[in-house]
Amino acid sequence: MSGHRHVRNTHVALSLLAWSALALAGCTSPSAPPPAPPANEYRVGPPDLLNITILPEPIIEREVIVRPDGMISVDLIGDIGAGGRTPTEIAEDIQTRIARFKRDARVTVALGAALSAEVTVLGEVLNPSSFPLTRQTRLVEAMGAVGGPTLFAAKQRIRIIRYSDGGTQVLITDLGSIENGDLSTNFLLRGGDLVVVPPSNWARVGYALQAALFPFQQIIGFGARVSTTVLTGGI
């Protein structure tokens, strides 16, 4: 009888240990997001907005947009290259050129709006799109900007594809863990990043079946859209 009691107690102890392990596994300890990488001074590109101030009196203050060719126009000196340069480098160049027209010239160039640094979000999101990084933006904020993931998204396998230093870097993020308080993969985005939200495995199977069972659906849908456009005078 004591042997049966011992076996039963052992089973109870093992069950308690198992439940404890599951409970601990279900608890996610909050973790901070990765720190922003040390950033070099911002390099200007089209269509960034620049604020130029030239001292002394008479003070020249101009708000200029970087043109598609990377050039800007400045009083007295005309066109000057801005694309690919930092605001400090642009200010130094303007100051050197304008010295012959304005004694003791002091030039400052400030970034009014960073519109050239864009991020693209594709895949299983409600509104795939590109948008400029006008402020520091992390993955979660980018997902919010495109309406969030669809029901078919593999939230644990979101990829950030980044071109850096002549090579391509792929960062894997887990939106599900981020939603549960683990911010370790809530990466800070950079201009040019491509965020890809893949479909879940079940969604892949569904898409494959759809393509196999309804191979002409996309063609019919395209024809219907063209017909509608023609009838409404869109072409």
CATH assignment at residue 63: 3.30.1950.10
pTM of the full structure: 0.62
Is 63 within a domain? yes
The answer to whether the peptide bond before residue 37 is cis (omega within 30 degrees of 0) is: no
**Which residue has better confidence, 172 or 9?**
172
Is 8 within a domain? no
User: Is residue 207 predicted with pLDDT exceeding 80?
Assistant: no
72 and 122 assigned to the same domain = no
Domains in the chain, number:
2
**CATH number of the domain that residue 167 is part of:** 3.10.560.10
Q: Which two tokens stand for residue 55?
A: 């001292």
145 and 97 assigned to the same domain = no
82 and 139 assigned to the same domain = no
Is 7 within a domain? no
123 and 80 assigned to the same domain = no
Owning domain of residue 65: 49-113
User: Is residue 10 predicted with pLDDT exceeding 70?
Assistant: no
Helices (H) and strands (E) in the chain, counts: 6, 10
89 and 132 assigned to the same domain = no
Confidence band for 15, pLDDT divided at 50, 70 and 90: very low
Among residues 202, 91, 192, which one has the least CA distance to residue 150?
A: 202
56 and 96 assigned to the same domain = yes
Q: Average pLDDT of 157-178?
A: 91
Q: For the chain, what is the radius of gyration of the CA atoms?
A: 28
Is 96 within a domain? yes
Is 6 within a domain? no
Is 2 within a domain? no
125 and 192 assigned to the same domain = yes
105 and 169 assigned to the same domain = no
User: Is residue 220 predicted with pLDDT exceeding 90?
Assistant: no
**Which residue has better confidence, 67 or 136?**
67
**Which residue has better confidence, 31 or 1?**
31
Q: What is the C-alpha separation between 74 and 82, in angstroms, rounded?
A: 11
On whether the CB atoms of residues 115 and 50 are closer than 8 A, the answer is no
Q: What is the pLDDT of residues 89-135, one digit of tens each?
A: 999 999 999 999 998 999 999 999 888 889 999 999 999 999 988 88
The amino acid present at 43, given as its one-letter code, is: R
Taken in order 193, 161, 159, 128, is the CA torsion positive or negative? positive
Confidence band for 38, pLDDT divided at 50, 70 and 90: low
Q: What is the C-alpha separation between 140 and 148, in angstroms, rounded?
A: 9
Q: Which two tokens stand for residue 49?
A: 């907005």
173 and 109 assigned to the same domain = no
